[in-house]
Every structure is written in C-alpha cells, then in structure tokens.
Amino acid sequence: MKNIVTLSGGPAGPAALAALLLLAVGPFPLHDPPEQPCKGTPISFIPASISSPGYYYVTTHLTGLADEDGLTINSPGVVIDLCGFTMQGVPDAKTGIISGAHGVRVLNGRVIDWPGFGIQLGENAVVTDVEVRDCGDNGIWASFGSLVERCVVVDNADTAIQLGDRSIVRDCVVEAPADVTGIALGTDSICEDVTVQAGTQGVRMDERGLLRGATVTGTTDAGILMAPYGSVEGCAVRGIHTEAFPVPNSKGIVLSGSGRVDRCTVHRCGTGVRVSEASTVTRTTVREADIGIDAGDYARVEDCTVVECAVDGIRMENGGIARGNLVARQAGAGLVAQGDRNWIEGNVADENLSGIVIEGTHNLVTENRAADNTLQDFKIPYGNPYGPVQNSGWAILASKPQANFRTPFP
C-alpha cells in the first residue's frame, strides 16, 4: 500500500504567510542542501498532498512512486522550499509537483526524471532557483501571471518552460532536444537574459512580447519567433550550419507582425532576420545566412551590417526604408528592392556579386556607395528616381548632394 500523507495545520492567511517568508532562509545553490535547516512545515516523503497555505520545506532527497504525482498542492498561498534537495521520479510515475491553485511558489532544488511534467502549476505561480531535467512532458508549465527565474531546464520531452499570458522568464538556462521548443510564453509577457540551446524554436512569444538579452543556439526552425507587436532587443542567435550552408529554411529572428528588432546579432541561419509589415530592424548584424534581412511592406531597416550571405544581404518589399546599412561579400546582391516605393538611402555595398539592385518601380535611390561588386555596382531601371551615379570625388557632393557613388571616397 502506498504511503500518502496530507499535510495540514500550516499557517493560514496572508499575514502569517508573510511572517513565515521573513523567517525563511534565503535561496540555496541548486546542488547543495543547506547548512542550516529550513523553517516551516517539513516534508520528508512523497507522494504527499498539501491542503493548507503556508511555508513547507523538504528535509531529504525524495523518490516518487509509480502511478503517483510527487507533491499535489490543493491550496493557494503555498511555498515549497526544496532546500537544495532532489525530487526524483521513477518509471510510470506522473508529475513531480502539480497544482491548480493560484500563488504557489517552488524554490531551491531539483525535480528530475518524472514521466509527466516536472512542475505544473496554476496562475500567479513562482518557480525560482530550480533545476528541472529529463521529464516526459514540459519541464515547467504554469498559467498566466507567473514568474520563472534563475532556473535550469534541460532535456525534457516537451517545451522546457511554457507560461501563460502576462508572465515573466528571467535568468534561465534551457537545453532542449532537437524537436522541442525551449521557451513559450503567452501574450504581454517578458523574457530576459536567458540562454537556450537546440530545439525547433528557441523562444516563442505571443502578441506584445518583449525579449531582451537572449542567447539562442542550434535551433532547426526559428531561434526567436515573435507574434505581432513584439520587440526583440540585444539578442544573439546562432543556427546549425553544415560545412557549406545553414540548415534549409532555418531562421534566426522572425516577427510575424509589426514589431521591432534592435541591437541583435544573427549567425549561420537560412534567413537571418525576417520581419513582416510595418516592422523595424535597427543596429543588427547578420553573418553567413542565406538571406540576411528579409523585410516586408513598409518596414525600416537602418544601421545594420550584413556580411557573407549565400544569396542576398537585404531584401525590401514595398514602401520601406533602407538607410545607413553596410552590405558586403554576399554571393548575390548586397541590397535588393524587390517591390515599389522604397527609399534606399546612404547604404554601402562592397564586394558583392551585385551591389544595389532595384527590381520594382518608384523607388528613390540616393546617397549610396557601391564598390568592387563583381557584376554591377548599381542596377536602377527606368521608372525609379535616383541621384546621379558618380565615379568618385568629394567635390561632387557640393553640387549633387544626393549622388550615388561607384567607388570609395578618396
């Protein structure tokens, strides 16, 4: 007969809970039990069910039982301090820590080898300083308004960290198998300072997401995938690369609707940055992609550097602005205006197969410089207004300030 205990009698109410939190010992390292005992209600074996709010702490390493969850939390306002210990699953067990109650917190320890979820919580959950590894479903799953911070989530069979709307993930390390997403967040969420390795998608965020300071490597689909109105700031993405080319159809950063990419670096992806209508890409560097930056209608691409792509450096569709970019050493064109009514201004195109190529009509082309491109420095067909193309000379700038130049300034 399985031993199942119901823990009760813990302090009730917000005031008592706050008092216990003040008495509790601070965060412990992931790999070492505390030198001083934790305070609250002890948990010395699992399976266990918790039915009263309060502060609960683990006293030893715990091992689950087949056909059972580890800890089941039925009350809101519960804090589980693992105190540096490990909750170990076994074959045919279920989920490590499970709760549908709101405001549950899990702190300081390891949850590993559970055939179900590692940790599955309700709304307004908090998971901090926890390692979740080798579970058969999501590593950490929680509903809306939740926080996951300073966690290590490795080699789980489904999405490593998945949270609902208005949630936050911060300072986490994720390693996911090749067919698994690293981090997935609902609308109006924030993700900061995370490191994600492998997986089909590194970080996926729904509408109005904010992603800052992420490092994503080795994804086979998209390193960063943002729904409309998302913002990506200061992130680095590196794809999987064969000896000659990136993985076909892989993407570094994708905005599926209006949004912003700023101060990012992308290396070795099929498409470095792909943005949709009315998006902005600024101060971003792409290297060794197939296509560096692929911008939709009414997009702005400014102050970016794109180098050594297998096809084209920057592609513009309709009604956009490409200004102040450096495009060099592409196997195709440095910058291509594929559509109409773009403004191509102040860009530098060096050592590409072709420099600046205009394919549509009514594109305005001014103050660009192109040099040492193999086939042509400029291709500007009839129907596109442009500054006169000059060979060299500072003196020309006085009389023709919108001129385009074929050779470096003297």
Domain boundaries, the chain: 1-175
pLDDT mean over 182-208 = 95
Percent of the chain with pLDDT over 70: 85
What element of type H or E holds 185?
strand 183-185
* Higher pLDDT among residues 405 and 214, named by residue: 214
Residue 228's closest CA among 201, 260, 196?
260
pLDDT at 178: 84
- Residue-wise pLDDT for 308-337, tens only, equals 999 999 999 999 999 999 999 999 999 999
Mean pLDDT value across the chain? 88
Residue-level pLDDT at 404 = 81
Look at the chain and count its residues.
410
Tell the residue number behind the tokens 């499970």, with chain if given.
Answer: 98
Q: Each residue of 361-381: pLDDT tens digit?
A: 999 999 999 999 999 999 999
Segment 52-95, tens digit of pLDDT: 999 999 999 999 999 999 999 999 999 999 999 999 999 999 99
What mean pLDDT do residues 173-181 have? 92
Burial of 78 (0-12, 13-18, 19+ CB in 10 A): buried
What is the arithmetic mean of pLDDT over 6-10? 39
pLDDT at residue 16, rounded to an integer: 36
pLDDT at 29: 40
Tokens of 187: 């609308």
What is the rounded CA–CA span in Å between residue 286 and residue 270? Answer: 11
pLDDT of residue 157: 95
pLDDT band at 399 (very low <50, low <70, confident <90, very high): low
* Alpha-carbon gap, residue 93 to 84, rounded angstroms: 22
Convert 5-37 to b/e letters by CB count within 10 Å (16 or more is b).
eebeebbeeeeebeebeeebeeebebeebbeee
Backbone angles phi, psi at 377, to 5 degrees: -80, -45
Q: Assign 15 to helix, strand or coil.
A: helix
Q: Which amino acid is at 12?
A: A
DSSP lists the bridge partners of residue 79 as 55, 105
Does residue 47 have a cis bond before it (omega within 30 degrees)? yes
Q: What pLDDT is stored for residue 396 in this prediction?
A: 57
DSSP category for residue 77: S
pLDDT of res. 129: 98
SS3 22: helix
Number of C-beta neighbours around residue 283 at 10 A: 15
pLDDT surpassing 70 at residue 102: yes
Q: What is the pLDDT of residues 204-260, one digit of tens each?
A: 999 999 999 999 998 888 999 999 999 999 999 998 655 555 556 689 999 998 999
Q: Is the pLDDT of residue 388 over 50?
A: yes
Q: Which of 282, 156, 259 is nearest to 206 (CA)?
A: 259
pLDDT value of residue 24: 35
pLDDT of residue 400: 67
Q: Which two tokens stand for residue 88?
A: 């170990």
CA distance 58 to 313: 55
Taking the C-alpha atoms of residue 345 and residue 127, their distance in angstroms, rounded to an integer, is 49
pLDDT of residue 241: 53
Instruction: Look up tokens 């420095």; give the residue.
Output: 377
Residue 376 CB partners (closer than 8 Å, separation 6+): 354, 355, 357
pLDDT of residue 348: 96
Q: Averaged over 6-35, what is the pLDDT?
A: 38
Structure tokens at 6: 């119901």
Is the peptide bond prior to 42 cis by the omega test (within 30 degrees of 0)?
Answer: no
Report pLDDT digits (tens) over 111-166. 999 999 999 999 999 999 999 999 999 999 999 999 999 999 999 999 999 999 99
Looking at per-residue pLDDT, the higher value among 85 and 406 belongs to 85
